[in-house]
A and B are shown apart, each in its own frame.
Chain A
């Protein structure tokens, strides 16, 4: 028995109320246009942030909503990035179809690995995600004829719709990344505010009880894992297309860890948590880029410990406790 979408009755009304667009959201999306006017010289950073936010959003879907702890999600980011790059390298630099291809390939790999993911829990789950991530990295490193090895690949991307060229200042890059992020949030919003999204939250809260009320929890987990993999793939492809390069770094453990840090910083299970976290994390890293990376990670480490001990729920969690119902 699967959970059917209810179309009427109190449950449907409740779902509709949950998914109502709040004023804060509108203000937030208007604010994302500010970089065009206020910081035009930082547009390439802004597009990096939009990409990081989309990636964090994909992790939020599985970690924040479905409770799958992953330390290897960069594998899908990297697979998407390399799919777009390899397509462009072989003469197809059209960006939108590149995104679709990245989503399909990453989603397909996500589908295959999801059978392993839903089988395991706890430490084994962490180790499997970590292991698959490292495995993909090593694989890409070994097949250096296809992936360019440690040198990576430089690619040429055609203009979007044949008109908007990727300029040096990042106007096109940021607009493009922002639009895709916006679509990503709309899709994620629709998913988490559906009965399927509620089932996922149920699995996160109690994976033993869900089968007891007739929820096919493994299938649910597989579905959301594939969606999250595709979304991460799109984020990776965006990075390739906006920067014109791809490197092994897109698959690294560091990237898997960073994205979890962003999400935790912003707050899990809130859609906007990953976005807020990406903004703070990437702006801080840009500002502190003179700092030795070793010391940068000292503060990241301290921050992680502080969030866990003092502010569970991250920034949005803290804010929502402060303001009650205004921020969800």
Chain B
């Protein structure tokens, strides 16, 4: 029983780490521009399909196709940002929500047109399959890989934001966009780069998610809810907050589905509503 619990906790944590990679970009870009981008999950989906194409049609190995997913999602997103999204930075939430939801619809239909509505499986390399025995417990090798990747990304993000010049600019722009602009920072360019990085991370998350939750055209919608929960609960622009919220959500979700299968999803939504009721800015949000 205890061993079982440990495995479920670990699986939940691994799922949470996946959600962290998927959503941390949105947390930063939302904090930066207040642009409610509901299409973030769609960029994740794009990364997933990029990996599917790379592995199946171009015979690129899994580990090399992951950076590819990052690049494709990042590049495509910055095209949208420069051409469409930027017109709506001051247009109010409703318009942002509508535009990006429209984009999710279009993205889902486009993927259904090219790839069909079915699941897109990929063949993992042998060293990521199977289990690792640890103290009599069996942990999935892929989930360990997932946790390591997410921890590395979290480390890189914290280092990048706290200890580099670019990170300092991003933080300045998140704290007060107008003052940052007044001090001569090119907030527009900072945002474009951050947006590309964030969407790239979503693409990477989508690619990593294929093995855990599968990939089909509804991905952008289905995981949008999870992504938004992480962002809203964690607090805008907070990497630590996203990390904690994602880990909690993953553990609650997997644990809930395992121990109380009838109430699983219900508990997640309740948990979110209660947290947002008590702290509308999220657990670690400042404003």
Q: Give the interface of A toward B (CB within 8 A).
A: 63, 69, 71, 116, 119-124, 126-128, 130-132, 134-135, 138-139, 142, 257, 260, 264, 268, 292, 294-295, 297-298, 300-305, 307-309, 312
Contact = CB atoms under 8 A, between A and B. Distances in A.
B266 interface: yes
Interface of B: 30, 34, 36, 84, 87-88, 91, 93-95, 97-99, 101-110, 112-113, 117, 217, 225, 228-229, 231-232, 236, 262-263, 265-266, 269-270, 272-273, 276-277, 280-282
Contact of A131 (B88, B97, B99, B272): B272
Contacts of B269: 131-132, 134-135, 138
A308 B99 contact: yes
Contacts of A268: 94
Nearest to B105: A301
B109 A127 contact: no
Given A123-B236, A295-B113, 17 more contacts: A123-B93, A124-B276, A124-B282, A126-B36, A131-B272, A132-B273, A292-B112, A297-B109, A298-B113, A301-B101, A301-B107, A302-B105, A304-B105, A305-B84, A305-B99, A305-B102, A308-B99
Contacts of A135: 266, 269-270, 273
Given A123-B30, A138-B266, A138-B269, A297 B98 contact: no
Question: Interface on chain A toward B: helix, strand, loop, or mixed SS?
Answer: helix
B276 A128 contact: yes
B245 to A, nearest CB: 12
Contacts of A138: 263, 265-266, 269
B99 A304 contact: yes
Contact of B98 (A130, A292, A307): A307
B109 to A, nearest CB: 3
Nearest to A295: B109
A134 B98 contact: no
Contacts of B270: 135
A297 B262 CA distance: 31
B36 A123 contact: yes
A81 B272 CA distance: 26
A139 B266 contact: yes
Interface majority SS on B: helix, strand, loop or mixed? helix
A132 B102 CA distance: 22
Given A130-B228, A135-B269, A304-B98, A124 B106 contact: no
A303 B228 contact: no
Contact of A127 (B101, B103, B104, B272): B272
Contacts of B112: 292, 294-295
A300 B105 contact: yes
Contacts of A302: 102, 105-106
A251 B126 CA distance: 44
Nearest to B38: A126
B109 A119 contact: no
Contacts of B113: 294-295, 298
B93 A301 contact: no
B211 to A, nearest CB: 24
Nearest to B287: A122
B11 to A, nearest CB: 22
A321 to B, nearest CB: 17
A267 to B, nearest CB: 13
B102 A127 contact: no
Contacts of B98: 260, 264, 304-305, 307-308
6 contacts: A131-B272, A302-B102, A304-B98, A304-B102, A305-B98, A305-B103
Which of A130, A303, A312 has the most B CB atoms < 10 Å from its CB?
A130
A69 to B, nearest CB: 5
A69 B93 contact: yes
A301 B39 CA distance: 12
A299 to B, nearest CB: 8
Q: Pick the 3 closest A-B CB pairs, nearest first.
A: A301-B105, A304-B102, A298-B109
Nearest to A69: B94
Nearest to B231: A123
A126 B266 contact: no
Contacts of A63: 94
Contacts of B107: 301
Candidate in B34, B87, B97 with the most chain A CB atoms within 10 angstroms: B97
Contacts of A300: 102, 105
B104 A128 contact: no
A127 B30 CA distance: 14
